[in-house]
Amino acid sequence: MSLLTDKKILLGITGSIAAYKVADWVRALRREGCQITVVMTESACRFIRPLTMAALSGNPVHTGMFATEAPETIPHISLARGHDLLVIAPASAQTIGRLAHGLADNLLAAIALASSSPILVCPAMNSAMFQHPATQANLATIRSYGYRVLDPDCGKMACNEEGPGRLTDWETARQAILTTFAPQNLAHEHVLVTAGPTREAFDPVRFLSNPSTGKMGYALAATAGQRGATVTLISGPTALAAPPGVRCIQVASAVEMQEQVMSCLAAATIVVKAAAVSDYRPAEPQRHKVKKGQATLTLPLVANPDILKELGNRKRKSANFPLLIGFAAESRNHLKEGARKLKEKNLDLIVVNDIGGTETGFAAETNRVTLLDRDGGQEDVPLLSKEETAHRIWDAVGRLLTGSR
C-alpha cells in the first residue's frame, strides 16, 4: 500500500494554458490509488473541458458556487470538508491574488478559505506576471498562511517568452504531495545515501561494474526527503534523475565514492550505503585503448576500499557518529551473511536482500528484504515496491532513533 492509497485529493484548476498538463497528473494520482475530485474556475474551463477532467478523475467536476442539481447542498463547504489535500495547479496570478486576500468570489477560492486540509499551490503564468512584486507579495502572503508553494520552472513558455513561470514538473509535484502524507520522523536529520554501481576503469573504453540500477538507493533518498530530511545522494552511474530536493553528487569509481562519502560525513546524522561498490579494480588502468592481441589476457586486480567498513571502524572511536545502515546483497545464506556484515562493519541496521529472483535485487521494481538491527531485532519485510520498502526501512530507522524498538 502506497502513501497515496485511498487519499482524497481535491484538485483546483485555474485559468492557465498549463491546465492541460494536470490531466496527466490526475491519471498518475489515480494509478497510485488516490481519489480525485476536480474543481475548475470559469477561466480554466476555457483552456480544458470539464468533460476531460471528469473522465480522467472518474468523478463529476465542480465549477459553480451553486449546485443546480442539488440546490440544498452547499458545495464549497461540503467540498472543503471531504478531502485530505487541496492542490491548486496550475495556479494563475489571479487565483493567487484571491487566496492572498481571502476573497471567496468563486468556488475554488471559497473552498480554499473554508478548507482545513493542507494546501499545495503550483503557480504557472507569464514570467513578468510571476516576477511582478504584487504576485511575489501574494505568494509570500499565502506562504505565511501555511500554504506550500512550488516554484515554477524556468524555460520557454506558450507566449514564446522565457523565464520562470512554467508549471513545475510532475515528479516535483508528486514529491510535495507525498511529503504532506509521509511521517515527518526524519525532520531534523541529514541523510547521506550512496546508490548505484561503481565503474572501475580498465582502459578509456572499458570498465568493471555490476548491474545495479540505483533504484533502491534513489528510493531511499526520495522517501527520506518526503519524511523531512535534508538529503545528499552520492551516486554511481545510473539512468535515474535525482529525486526533487535532493543534492546529488555523481561519481564513477569506488575510490571517488569513498572521497565524497568522507567529505560529506561531517554534516550527516544517518548514512545509508545502498551502493553496489565493486570490491576490486584493475591494478593498472591503461591510458590508451588496449588492442586486440593474444588469445588470452589476464587482468590483475587490487582490492577497493571497503567504505562501509571504514565508516564502521571510525564509529567505534566516536560517540557522536551518524547512524550507520548497510546493505547485504546475497545469493545464498542471506541471514547468516547479513548478520556477519552487521557485526563486522559495526552497523546499526543492515538490509539483507536476495539478488537471485526476478522480483527482487538488481533492476527489479520490487524488493523483499529482511532488516537486522544492532540489538538482535529481525523484521521480514514482504515483497513491496522499492519506494514502499524504503519507507519500511525508514520506519525501522525511526524506531532505532527513538530507541522504541
Report the nearest approach of ligand CTP to the CB of residue 342 (Å).
10
The type of residue at 305 is P
* Of the candidate residues 57, 63, 253, 304, the single one contacting ligand CTP (CB under 6 A): 304
Q: Is 154 a catalytic residue?
A: no
327 binds ligand CTP (CB under 6 A): yes
Give the Cα-Cα-Cα angle 238, 240, 242 (nearest 5 degrees): 115
Cell 582502459, residue located: 203
Which residues, 176 to 195, sit near ligand CTP by CB under 6 A? none
Cell 559495526, residue located: 346
Q: Give the list of residues 6+ apart from residue 337 with CB closer than 8 angstroms, or none.
A: 328, 330, 352
Of 29-37, 95-103, 134-142, 325-333, the segment contacting ligand CTP by CB under 6 A is 325-333
* Of the candidate residues 83, 215, 273, 386, the single one contacting ligand CTP (CB under 6 A): 273
Q: How far apart are CA 252 and CA 340, in angstroms?
A: 28
Pairing of the two strands 301-303 and 280-282: antiparallel
Report the nearest approach of ligand CTP to the CB of residue 82 (Å).
45
Of 18-26, 148-156, 301-309, 365-373, the segment contacting ligand CTP by CB under 6 A is 301-309
Closer by beta carbon to ligand CTP, 25 or else 218? 218
Of 100-108, 143-151, 173-181, 275-283, the segment contacting ligand CTP by CB under 6 A is 275-283
SS3 148: strand
CA atoms within 13 Å, Cβ hemisphere of 126: 7
199 binds ligand CTP (CB under 6 A): no
Q: Taking the chain, what is the end-to-end CA distance rounded to the nearest angstrom? A: 23
Enumerate the β-bridge partners of residue 231.
Answer: 191
Nearest to 280 by CA among 255, 299, 256, 304: 304
Residue 113 buriedness (CB in 10 A; 0-12 / 13-18 / 19+): middle
Enumerate the β-bridge partners of residue 206.
Answer: 203
Q: How far apart are CA 177 and CA 154, in angstroms?
A: 21
* Of the candidate residues 171, 203, 306, 379, the single one contacting ligand CTP (CB under 6 A): 306
Compute how many residues bind ligand CTP; rule: CB under 6 A: 14
* Of the candidate residues 142, 277, 390, 396, the single one contacting ligand CTP (CB under 6 A): 277
Which residues, 95 to 154, sit near ligand CTP by CB under 6 A? none
Of 4-12, 121-129, 165-173, 274-282, the segment contacting ligand CTP by CB under 6 A is 274-282
Given 34, 45, 159, 264, the catalytic residue: 159
- The grid coordinates of residue 36 equal 480525485
Q: Are 148 and 220 in contact (CB under 8 A)?
A: no
279 binds ligand CTP (CB under 6 A): yes
Report the nearest approach of ligand CTP to the CB of residue 115 (Å).
44
* Of the candidate residues 192, 275, 324, 369, the single one contacting ligand CTP (CB under 6 A): 275
Report the nearest approach of ligand CTP to the CB of residue 356 (Å).
13
Q: How far apart are CA 244 and CA 142, in angstroms?
A: 22
242 binds ligand CTP (CB under 6 A): no
* Of the candidate residues 165, 243, 326, 361, the single one contacting ligand CTP (CB under 6 A): 326
Q: How far apart are CA 223 and CA 387, in angstroms?
A: 7
* Of the candidate residues 341, 368, 386, 391, the single one contacting ligand CTP (CB under 6 A): 341
76 binds ligand CTP (CB under 6 A): no
Q: Are 264 and 232 in contact (CB under 8 A)?
A: yes
Of 11-19, 60-68, 215-223, 305-313, the segment contacting ligand CTP by CB under 6 A is 305-313
Q: Are 351 and 328 in contact (CB under 8 A)?
A: yes
- Residues that bind ligand CTP in the complex, under the rule CB under 6 A: 254, 273, 275, 277, 279, 304, 306-308, 326-329, 341
List, by residue number, the catalytic residues: 159
